[in-house]
Chain A
Amino acid sequence: MSPIKHAVICAAGIGSRLGLNKPKCLVEVNGRTLLDYHLERLAWAQTLWLVVGFEEEDVIAHAMSLRNDIIVVRNPDYARTNTLQSLYLVSRHLDERFLMIDADTVVETESFNDFMAASNEHRQLIGVSRYTTSDGVRVLLDANAESVVGFTREPHHSREWTGIAIIEPALVVDKPIYVYQALEPFLPMRAAELKAFDIDTTADLDMAGRVLASGWNLEAEHA
């Protein structure tokens, strides 16, 4: 049984850059929605929180059809707030560390399970990935490549911030900044590698289709 009891999926955003008129968590990759993959991978979570906003009726209906015991948290301000503020709607009720995950990410399950296992050794973890996207936030690692010491928009760094982390609720603040900016004051934090990336553009979506179809065997394309 995982030492982490709470998993929070942030699925409130509009996903405007993708330009599909549906929430990103309901976008299909290889025939299944991103939400399907997340809920299957998070089956162990004792309490699963899902923050919804854009097209919430559709997201709630689909999520509840997959798993009936979700706590749906509404973010009616989704158009004016960001992921950190969605996260705060949950973290303010928590008194122990939790897993946070953006609904618009694709994740390889085995590496995710290794990530969760690492939470036995480390209280907080930042998920980093070699799978990089055109406008992703990259991380700066220490000499041993064990800890995140900074975040950057400079694309020549080889690891990307995945939007997946295990953190204490106290790190989450109700401010209109990015999640990585809220983490910055607490660096260095332990890094753990995942095969994952988020889908912001149609190019990312195409890449997700190829990567999943190839069984995450596309290192050459992203090295």
Chain B
Amino acid sequence: MTTAYCFDLDGTLTRQELLPLIASSVGLEDEISVLTQATINGVLPFDKSFKLRVRLLRDARLDWIHQALIDQVEFDRHMLDFIASRPDQCFVVTGNLDVWVRPILDRLGIQSFTSTACMEEGRVEGIRHVLHKGDAVDSLRDRFDRIIAVGDGMNDVPMFEAANWRIAFGGTHAPNPLLVKLSDFVINDGKTLCRLLSML
């Protein structure tokens, strides 16, 4: 049986939420954090909040954003090891913008599904496509018998609905309560997560 492991990025594979770091590169931390919190709490739908956040951050230069992420993003060592041991079975499934999180994805070195940006003269002009995480899982169905999803937020709900096993992960903050209700397992620790993934 072939298994695919689908990981959310912000706060799941990374120890920090990425948008606040991106916002810090242009001094909009407070504005973005309000929107991020509203999204985590399920007050604001992900795609609406994400469009707002992209609009706020449109003037941020990509090289500033990338530098902020490279400087500040940390990973869980056990999760990096797990991914490195099965790179063809592991996928990043993130609603975040492809051009923003590029250095993080390069660092992880696995295939990814992201939202995509509309670019103009090297700047983010808008969003071409907001990723629906359920579509990402569905697109893996012809290659994998079984899909295991790991996430923490409201926008992981469609990924959980489409997966065979669902793990709500609270590595950085308690996972969204609705996501917990859809999950098979709840785990707060990266090493423990990898131990479970190896047993499923």
Contact = CB atoms under 8 A, between A and B. Distances in A.
Contacts, number: 39
Given A93-B200, A94-B199, A68 B186 contact: no
Interface stretch (B32-40, B57-65, B190-198): B190-198
Contacts of B174: 61
A71 B191 contact: no
Interface string A38-78: 00000000010000000011001100100011111110100
Interface residues of B, number: 18
B183 A71 contact: no
Contacts of A71: 185, 187, 192, 195-196
Contacts of B192: 47, 69-71
A74 B177 CA distance: 13
B187 A72 contact: yes
B177 to A, nearest CB: 7
Nearest to A75: B184
Contacts of B199: 93-94
Contact of A69 (B185, B186, B188): B188
B189 interface: yes
Contacts of B184: 73-74
A73 B177 contact: no
Contact of B186 (A47, A72, A93, A94): A72
Interface string A168-179: 000000000000
A15 to B, nearest CB: 21
A190 to B, nearest CB: 27
Contacts of A76: 181
B151 interface: no
Contact of A57 (B177, B188, B196): B177
A84 to B, nearest CB: 18
Given A69-B191, A72-B186, A64 B200 contact: no
Given A74-B183, A74-B184, A47 B189 contact: no
A73 B187 CA distance: 9
B170 interface: yes
B1 to A, nearest CB: 14
A120 to B, nearest CB: 24
Interface in A21-46: none
Interface in B149-185: 170, 174, 177, 180-181, 183-185
A72 B187 CA distance: 6
A195 B112 CA distance: 54
A74 B186 CA distance: 8
B38 to A, nearest CB: 21
A76 B181 CA distance: 8
Interface of B: 170, 174, 177, 180-181, 183-189, 191-192, 195-196, 199-200
Given A57-B177, A69-B191, A74-B184, 13 more contacts: A47-B192, A60-B186, A64-B170, A64-B188, A69-B188, A71-B185, A71-B195, A72-B186, A73-B184, A74-B180, A74-B185, A93-B199, A94-B199
19 contacts: A47-B195, A57-B180, A60-B180, A60-B186, A61-B174, A64-B170, A68-B188, A69-B191, A71-B187, A71-B195, A71-B196, A72-B185, A72-B187, A73-B185, A74-B180, A74-B183, A74-B184, A76-B181, A93-B196
